[in-house]
């Protein structure tokens, strides 16, 4: 079976480089267009199920996919974004100013960081992997998981047998698609961060933040 990981579309906080976490930010106009193009792109794919983080930016992206297949989106809390704790709602410059040493660690060794009032990458990895395991056991076809940048980065690490120190080696743009095929008990990466369908919007509108 195939696990298709889809990042949600763009929000104003992506553009402004604001840490989002559990803040329930809606898609902006560009994000809604991205989600629509993503749904069209997957229209001919035989999708068996669509799972989503409960946050609006992910759920609205998931609905743009599920609507083409007559499916209801299955909400899954374990696909929620990293809890950024005290960083949520702050811009990158604000975090650098208030949490300089910790931000430097996040930028160089993110696998060692426990965000104040929030989670670690290992926390995200454990909960997200448990979803993947259940989806693989439940389905034999293609399942889409609509989630967030951090979740996809740590899942790519986990499914490739890498530790979270490789977090920054993986790019995940808004609405980027990553697909793993589960065969003989192993996960094989067959597509990563595919955003070719977003070309009508212009490459400058994509972002790994």
Residues with catalytic function: 8, 148
- Give dist(CA 182, CA 98) in Å, integer: 43
- Give dist(CA 150, CA 14) in Å, integer: 13
As a residue count, the chain comes to 209
Q: Please report where in the chains the tokens 């490789």 appear, as a residue.
A: 166
- Give dist(CA 57, CA 96) in Å, integer: 26
Backbone angles phi, psi at 131, to 5 degrees: -70, -45
Backbone angles phi, psi at 183, to 5 degrees: -140, 130
């Amino acid at each position: 079976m195939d696990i298709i990981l889809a990042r949600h579309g763009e929000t104003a906080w992506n553009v402004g480089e604001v840490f989002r976490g559990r803040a329930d930010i809606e898609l902006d106009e560009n994000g809604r267009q991205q989600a629509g193009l993503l749904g069209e792109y997957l229209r001919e794919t035989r999708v068996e199920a669509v799972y989503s983080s409960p946050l609006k930016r992910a759920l609205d992206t998931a609905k743009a996919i599920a609507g083409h297949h007559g499916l209801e989106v299955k909400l899954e809390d374990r696909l929620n974004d990293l809890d950024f704790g005290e960083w949520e709602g702050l811009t990158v410059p604000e975090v650098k100013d208030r949490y300089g040493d910790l931000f430097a660690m996040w930028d160089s060794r993110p696998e060692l960081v426990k965000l104040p009032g929030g989670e670690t990458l290992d926390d995200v990895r454990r909960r997200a992997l448990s979803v993947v395991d259940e989806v693989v056991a439940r389905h034999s076809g293609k399942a889409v998981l609509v989630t967030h940048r951090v979740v996809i980065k740590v899942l790519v690490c986990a499914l490739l047998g890498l530790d979270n120190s490789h977090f920054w080696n993986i790019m995940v743009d808004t609405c980027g698609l990553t697909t793993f095929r589960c065969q003989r008990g192993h996960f094989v990466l067959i597509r990563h961060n595919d955003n070719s369908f977003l070309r009508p919007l212009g490459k400058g509108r994509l972002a790994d933040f």
